Structure 1
Amino acid sequence: MTSKLQRIGRFLSRMVMPNISAFIAWGIITTLFNPDGWFPSTAMNMLVVPLMIYALPSLVAYAGGQHIYGHKGGIIAVVGTMGVIIGTQTPMFVGAMIMGPISAYLLKRVDGMLKRHTPIGFEMLMSNFTAGVLGTIMIILGYVMIGPIIGHLNALFKLGVDFAVSRSLLFLAAIFIEPGKVLFLNNAINHGILTPLGLQQSLAKGDAIFFLLETNPGPGIGILAAYWVNGRGSAKLTAPGALIIHALGGIHEIYFPYVMMYPVLFVSVIIGGLVGDFIFQLFDSGLVAMASPGSLLAILALAPKNKLFGILLGIIGSSVASFLSAGLLIARRESWEMPDHDEMAFETDIFKGYQGNYEIAKIVFACDAGMGSSAMGASLLQKMLRASGVNVLIENVSLDDIPEDASAIITFNDLLPCARQAVPGALYIGIKDFLDRAYYEALIDALLKRCHFKEVTMNHQVPDQILMKSNIILDKASVSKEEAIRYAGQLLVESGYVEANYIEGMLAREEKFTTFIGNGVAIPHGENAVKDSIIASGIVVVQYPNGIDFGSGNIAKLVIGIAGKGNEHLQILSNVAEAIEEDELLNQMLRTKNPDTIYDIFAAEGMLAQ
């Protein structure tokens, strides 16, 4: 059940989290220019309502649609959601979370059914026409039926919320919120439930207590402070650093292991949450927008000036309550040590079912959002592996974005059931604390004993060919645009053409301008900021018979990754353009089952030797 809730919560949070900067911008405008703000301005305050009603729900819808069907899914998600928005004239965040994904899913299914019946040369026409017709249907459906239904459901739900608020019972939500956070439902609770409620309340009264219920760092501060004062051993030593990261960095996941290692501390986080939320409610505290991450700095930045005292008092109160209760419980514990990590236990667990050595080309750290805790873990393991003489590629991603070429996947124990569905055959490693050095030491010993690591770069030899036959990959199954670019970039890395950070430059380049050049061909390459990471000029060719959606109905069946050293970039692009200029040669490359065919075509353009 927890795994299913985590999966649903991740999907909901994926619609909100990519747009956090927009929500923060809206919150800053509200904080500065509303009648009770720091710089009251009637003219500037007129921005608040249109942003809330139209812009923010549209962004949420786009993110949901894009997750399901790329850029095209995002566009129709916005179109369908506009019907819901206009049909109610109230903040339709719940409507966006429903209408956006449904619209994108329907378009994906319709395109899939029509694709095999579309004549050659009419793909773009049919694609755009289908999306236009379905978009028309969805916006009318949203305006006439779905919008009013969601509006009525919102009204009923609001009655329940108002009942709890009017009777000063809202603080009791901490009984469910605080343990839910520790079970890694924090993003689901915050972005899937509390954010839509908070946005509506903020529009009505200028701020919302809902933005404080999950983001309050007080309970976690109290737990970590109690370990610092009353704990012993590694738990005591690691608590101060974790407290700073939690309070100022807003990475709440860092205190979850300290609760999990002594589950009676669930009582302490609940007590801290109850006290903090009661004080927030008593002083009518609230933020103007969500604070994400939930750090003290972010909370104070989004606090109305007349609510600062109540907010600070609530955070302090929850910290003290959690600290006192946790201190009493920890003082009675016989051992404060983090559990010992046994190298043999690692071998028995993660290598179960594997005979001999296992090759690792990429290690992936995955967490719910793919940012805070996994980024710290990836950085720490990278440093420790390099100290052991290993320079393997390590990435941090969200659970939903685990790449198919991951060799080993590390995530929190409670998230392992969700992660295991990503890459069959990979090594799956559960962890309690992304900053546990003792764990990494035992893990590295086990991996060095049983694994062969594929180095990130081939510093011993610079490739002497721009295109190698091993980098012509045929008949690849369709994936997302981002995954296709990462795969091409990884081929460039593994062949020694570029350093690992070139891949991020390729993705950043694609966000600014599409690299789809027509005729079913895309040529992803890095932006200027990563030119220094190019070791030697090179290209890789990946054939996707069923195509990759590069947005706006552009389907690429040939993805050619490019890295040009010095001034060779434009020359390589020119040679690629000439190679695909002739329809006959292009059709051969799109349909061939023999890599020699593509190799010979590029050889004729003089693209093999450096």
Structure 2
Amino acid sequence: MASSTETASRGGARLHVQRFGTFLSNMVLPNIGAFIAWGLITALFIQTGWVKLIGDAFGYDGGYGFVSVLGGWKDADGVLLDANGNVGIVGPMITYLLPLLIGYTGGRMMYNDSLRGGVVGAIATMGAITGASVPMFLGAMVMGPLGGWSMKKLDALWAHKIRPGFEMLVNNFSAGIWGGILAVVGFVVAGPFVQGFSNLASNVVDFLVERNLLPLTSIFIEPAKILFLNNAINQGILTPLGTTAAQTDGKSILFLLEANPGPGLGLLLAFAVFGRGAAKSSAPGAILIQFIGGIHEIYFPYVLAKPKLIAAVILGGMAGVATNVAFGSGLRSPASPGSIIAVWASSPPSSLLGVTASVVVAAGVCFLVASFLLKIDKSTDDGDLAAATAQMEANKGKKSSVSGMLAGSGAAASGPIRSIVFACDAGMGSSAMGASVLRKKVHGAGFTDVTVVNKAISNLTDDVDLVVSHQDLTDRARQKTPSATHVSVENFMSSPRYDEIVDLLQQQNGAGAGASAPAAAGGGVDSGLLARESIVLDASGSRDDAITRAGELLVAAGAVESSYVQAMHERETSVSTYMGNLLAIPHGTNEAKGAIRRSAISFVRFPQQVDWNGKPVEFVIGIAGAGDDHLKLLGRIAEIFTDESQVARLSAARSADDVLAVLGAMQPA
């Protein structure tokens, strides 16, 4: 029996692979529309496309000049050329557009969703593109994130050291110079390396195809899907290799190794006919989601409930691959999601019959094997499926968006929710305001017995029912509270997830007890927290300027040491303090609390607004919280910034007294 350390090691390795696959898919999936556009143009306008096929069928043998220009028909040597000897749309799209989109997305991801990171990532990707003769998808997945990450590190070296007025000059030239350097690196190193890797991988695929061994890949791919490793395999290997093959051959079988919906369809049909209990009753609905919707994860719990059924999906996958090999069929572009609709849309005319046959054969083989295994199985399915759904979500590392239908009416309830914690890095600002907004919604819905508090992630304990955190912090929060339900938000002030939490309370706790308890009476703003001297109404500059200005006001008020300003910038580089509704609340890291002398708040208004990582911000409130005495005002601010009329009053304020009048008009949260 494997030791617990070995088991944890395997689980950790699987989790790392899942995260890596998710990272790859996050670069590809936002751009899947471009892949579909390229696939449609290819399907319609290349020399073997639908337009020419239909025209030839009706005896129309001329006038294809415009079509050939769009598709880039091949000459006698197989080179993509249009009627004038130039490359058509198809070639440039796959050579330049798609890799550049992936590189841009990867760079932006690595630089906190910054356009700056995306631009440098795209420049670096361009070098890799020109350094090889194959579509540079793998190179884009390397050079794009490298560009964004390295630019972020370089910017941190001279952050807050640039003289006012020179920020744009330094930022533009640093991005241009570093992007140019990375483009050269991509041309000299990344391009040739990816070219060699692609050639090697293509030779391996050719070796398997020539010896009729390609169906054996299902032995690895199908179990990997159940463990949610499909993103790493599909987006990291099969999609780049398949796209390269499709450029030269017009199609690739690699696009169907993982995306074929046949095995999942066959398994669910077997449960619909021969299953028992919840598994049998939920299977028909799951078929619709899997086969038409293309969400394959819906059938994973059925396999986890009865692990022996992995044999059925493996054999079904092998049968589907063997059918495509026999017909010589494949897809022009990735089928994402893996719906039969997407599969047919990506099929070239010559492969439509073979692709359809591969889906039917895969479903049939999987159905027969799964039906036999279910017939000889004597156990019930109800408890197994509920437990397997939980196991699937544990494998995935997050709540499944479609698994709720699998539990059925007989699934055990997870129990009422009594405690909600809004967690952030330092527990001073973001979480306090988010908790205030959420508390108002929860208590307003009648759940006055549910506590909603805020804490730093480092102070979380695994005895709470539900944890809310910024999407960039959820993984850390989950490690501290693995038993809790976790909800990720991006907009703290008006996140739609708050309404979902109220709906969850209604499901888990029953109807609310009535209107919320009246708020405690409270006075005006504590002048010791927000002094008139700490209010600025006519500021201008960048996001970093705004953070520095808010921090310097706190320093001038004697609330913090000067080192706290740098900690505010460090906090922003890890997790954005953008709250939504034109508000940002920069504050220091948890480690910087020692630099706080007393609690205080500064208020800076930017009439022309500030670009806060792509979001508009007009109001910047700097926060220093030594204890809990600043939380009352934060709760009041949270209520104000969910009220459009109050925000309008702050926009129109002409004096510090006008600001204090608005902030003091609200009762404590």
The TM tier, using the shorter chain, reads 0.5 to 0.7
Aligned partner of 1:277 in structure 2 is 321
Check whether the contact 1:523–1:559 (CA below 8 A) recurs between aligned residues.
Answer: no
**In the aligned structure 2, how far is the partner of 1:215 from the partner of 1:468?**
59
Task: Choose from 42, 63, 68 the match for 2:68.
Answer: 42
Shift of 1:31: 1.2
Structure 2: distance between partners of 1:30 and 1:559: 52
1:68 alignment partner in structure 2: 110
Q: Which amino acid aligns with 1:80?
A: A
Answer with 61-70 or 143-152: which moved more.
143-152
Find the counterpart in structure 2 of residue 511 from structure 1: none
Q: Does the 8 Å CA contact 1:541/1:559 hold for their aligned counterparts?
A: no
Question: How many angstroms apart in 1 are the aligned matches of 2:607 and 2:365?
Answer: 57
CA distance in structure 1 between the partners assigned to 2:639 and 2:201 by the alignment:
51
Matches within 5 A, 1:331-346: 331-339=375-383
Kindly tell me: are residues 32 and 98 of structure 1, through their superposed partners in 2, closer, same or farther at Cα, counting changes over 3 Å?
same
State the Cα distance separating 1:176 from its structure 2 match. 0.7
**Aligned-residue offset at 1:100:** 0.9
Give the CA deviation at 1:540. Answer: 7.8
One-letter identity of the residue aligned with 2:97: A
CA RMSD, 1 decimal:
4.9
> Which amino acid letter does the alignment assign opposite residue 254 of structure 2?
F
Q: Which residue of 2 aligns with 1:174?
A: 218
Give the counterpart of 1:291 among 335, 351, 364: 335
**Aligned match of 1:20:** 32
Give distance in 2, aligned partners of 1:302 and 1:342. 36
CA distance in 1, matches of 2:199, 2:642: 55
CA distance in 2, matches of 1:516, 1:104: 30
Partner residue of 2:367? Answer: 323
**Residue in 2 aligned with 1:302?**
346
Residues 312 and 341 (structure 1), Cα distance of their counterparts in 2 relative to 1, 3 Å cut? closer
The verdict on how the C-alpha distance between 1:518 and 1:77 changes in structure 2, with shifts beyond 3 A counting, is same
Which residue matches 1:357? none
Structure 2 residue matching 1:184: 3-state secondary structure:
coil
Q: Compute the displacement of 1:196 (Å).
A: 0.3
Q: How does 1:53-92 map to 2 (within 5 A)?
A: 53-69=95-111, 70=113, 71-92=115-136
Q: Look up the SS of the partner of 1:117 in the other structure.
A: coil
Aligned counterpart, 1:133? 177
Aligned to 1:52: 94
Alignment coverage as a number of residue pairs: 486
Amino acid across the alignment from 1:213: L
Identity over aligned residues, as a percent? 36
Q: Tell me if structure 2 keeps the 8 A contact 1:575–1:607.
A: no
> What residue ranges of structure 2 are gaps of 5+ in the alignment?
1-12, 53-66, 72-87, 422-433, 435-455, 468-472, 487-503, 531-549, 552-566, 585-605, 625-636
- The 5-angstrom pairing of residues 181-260 of structure 1 reads 181-260=225-304
Q: Deviations over 1:214-273 (max 9, x none)?
A: 111111111111111111111111111111111111110000000001111111110000
3-state SS, counterpart of residue 270 of structure 2: helix
Distance 1:342 1:9 in 2: 26
Letter matched to residue 164 of structure 1: L
Return the alpha-carbon distance in structure 1 between the equivalents of residues 515 and 325 of structure 2.
60
What is the DSSP-based 3-state SS (H/G/I as helix, E as strand, rest coil) of the residue aligned with 1:478?
helix
Alpha-carbon distance in 1 for matches of 2:520, 2:335: 48
Equivalent residues in 2 for 1:579-594, closer than 5 Å: none
- The residue type paired with residue 239 of structure 1 is A
From the superposition, tell whether residues 123 and 544 of structure 1 become closer, same or farther in structure 2 (CA, over 3 Å).
Answer: farther
Indicate conservation of the 8 Å contact 2:257/2:321, yes or no: yes
Deviation at 1:169, TM superposition (A): 1.9
Q: Is the 8 A contact 1:10 1:368 kept in 2?
A: no
Deviation of residue 295 (structure 1)?
Answer: 0.7
Single out whichever of 120-129 and 8-17 deviates more from structure 2. Answer: 120-129
Question: What is the Cα deviation at residue 488 of structure 1?
Answer: 3.7
AA aligned to 2:31 is N
The residue that corresponds to 2:41 in the other structure is: 29
Distance in 1 of aligned mates of 2:341 and 2:642: 41
Looking at structure 1, the residues matched to 583 and 521 of structure 2 have their Cα atoms a distance apart, in angstroms, of 16
Q: Does 1:2 align with 2:14?
A: yes
In structure 2, the partner of 1:602 is 659
**Equivalents in 1 of 2:620, 2:155: separation in Å?**
26
- Aligned residue for 1:374, secondary structure, equals coil
**2:579 is the alignment partner of 1:478:** no
- Amino acid across the alignment from 2:316: G
Q: Distance in 2 between matches of 1:342 and 1:375?
A: 13
3-state DSSP class of the match of 2:195? Answer: helix
Q: Between 86-95 and 118-127, report the one with greater CA deviation.
A: 118-127
Change (3 A) 1:310 1:575: same
1:554-596 C-alpha deviation (Å, 9 max, x unpaired): xxxx99995564xx599458427x67xxxxx8xxxxxxxxxxx
Larger Rg, first or second structure (1 or 2): 2
Which has the higher mean CA deviation after the structures are superposed, 307-316 or 162-171? 162-171
The separation in 1 between residues aligned to 2:329 and 2:218, in whole angstroms, is 16
- Measured in 2, the distance between the counterparts of 1:341 and 1:208 equals 36
CA distance in 2 between partners of 1:43 and 1:213 (Å) = 32
The aligned amino acid for 2:70 is M
TM-score (norm 1): 0.67
Give me the whole-angstrom Cα distance separating, in 1, the residues matched to 2:385 and 2:273. 25
Distance in 1 of aligned mates of 2:485 and 2:357: 37
Kept in 1, the 8 Å contact 2:416–2:509? The answer is: no
Rounded Cα–Cα distance in structure 1 between residues aligned with 2:263 and 2:508: 36
Tell me, in whole angstroms, the C-alpha distance in 1 between the residues paired with 2:242 and 2:133: 17
Task: Give the 3 Å change call, closer, same or farther, for CA 50–226 of structure 1 in structure 2.
Answer: same
When residues 521 and 463 of structure 1 are mapped into structure 2, their CA distance, relative to the original with a 3 A threshold, is: farther
Q: Distance in 2 between matches of 1:468 and 1:317?
A: 72
C-alpha change, 1:55 and 1:279, in structure 2 (3 Å) is same
User: Shift of residue 480 of structure 1?
Assistant: 7.2
Change (3 A) 1:123 1:601: farther
Report if aligned partners of 1:64, 1:77 keep a CA contact under 8 Å in 2: yes
Question: Residues 489 and 179 (structure 1 numbering): CA distance in 2 closer, same or farther, change over 3 Å?
Answer: farther
2:652: which partner in 1?
575
Find the counterpart in structure 2 of residue 374 from structure 1.
401
SS at match of 2:229: helix
| Deviation sequence 1:498-544 (CA, Å, 0-9, x none) | xxxxxxxxxxxxxxxxx994568799579xxxxxxxxxxxx985548
The one-letter code sitting in structure 2 at the alignment partner of 1:43 is V
- Structure 2 letter corresponding to 1:44: L
Distance (Å, rounded) in 2 between the aligned partners of 1:283 and 1:312: 11
Q: Report the AA paired with residue 20 of structure 1.
A: I
| 1:206 alignment partner AA | G
Q: Secondary structure at the match of 2:363?
A: helix
Q: Quote the Cα distance in structure 1 between the aligned partners of 2:195 and 2:386.
A: 56
* Residue type of the alignment partner of 2:46: N
Tell me by how many angstroms 1:32 deviates: 1.5
CA distance in 1, matches of 2:525, 2:286: 47
Secondary structure (helix, strand or coil) at the match of 2:382 reads: coil
Structure 1 residue 164: Cα displacement: 1.7
Residue by residue, what CA displacement relative to the aligned partner does 1:340-360 show, whole Å, maximum 9, x if unpaired? Answer: 7999xxxxx9xxxxxxxxxxx
Q: 1:601 to 1:342 in 2, by over 3 A?
A: same
Read off the aligned partner of 1:575 and give its amino acid letter. Answer: A
> 1:319 Cα shift?
0.6
Could you report, residue by residue, the CA deviation over 1:341-394 in whole angstroms, capped at 9, with x for unpaired residues? 999xxxxx9xxxxxxxxxxxxxxx9996989x426649999xx99xx9999999
* Structure 1 residue aligned with 2:556: none
Cα 1:482–1:370 shift into 2, 3 Å: farther
